[in-house]
Amino acid sequence: MRENDIKYFKQMLESRREQILKNIMGSSKELDELQQNHDVMDEGDFASVSTDNMINEEILSSQQKELEEIDDALAKIQKGTYGICEMCEEPIGMQRLKVKPFAKYCITCRQIAEKSPA
């Protein structure tokens, strides 16, 4: 992979990382406010707050996972192994990396990994 490509993906990953951190901080603050809100008057309000809380926690969990994947990709850039499939050790296609810059597998290996039982 060319140095310009590496710089492009590093900037993309760092930008996404920054956005996720902002989202996590905002969501955490919102969850804290919901939990401290003692103005819940009836069962309907309580159910609505509980549902919002569950949705926010799921979004936070998903963003935490993406953040970990981004950190892994940034570490690979530092090590010089970015863009290499973890399964077959072949280069991951540029189109795949443009769609998912923290991809660990090439398309073929991703399909194999998805079919394998966990």
pLDDT digits (tens, 9 = 90+) for 47-58: 666 677 788 788
Rounded mean pLDDT of the chain? Answer: 86
CATH of domain 3-82: 1.20.120.910
Q: How far apart, in Å, are the Cα atoms of 113 and each of 8, 47, 70, 103, 117?
A: 27, 38, 19, 13, 8
Residues 6+ apart with CB under 8 A from 59: 23, 27
pLDDT digits (tens, 9 = 90+) for 76-98: 999 999 999 999 999 999 999 99
Q: Look at residue 46 in the predicted model and tell me its pLDDT.
A: 61
CB distance 59 to 27 below 8 Å:
yes
The structural domains of the chain, with segments of one domain joined by +, span: 3-82, 84-118
Statement: the pTM of the whole predicted model exceeds 0.85? no
Low-confidence winner among 11-15, 43-47, 65-69 (lowest mean pLDDT) = 43-47
CA 103 from centre of chain? 11
Q: Look at residue 1 in the predicted model and tell me its pLDDT.
A: 86
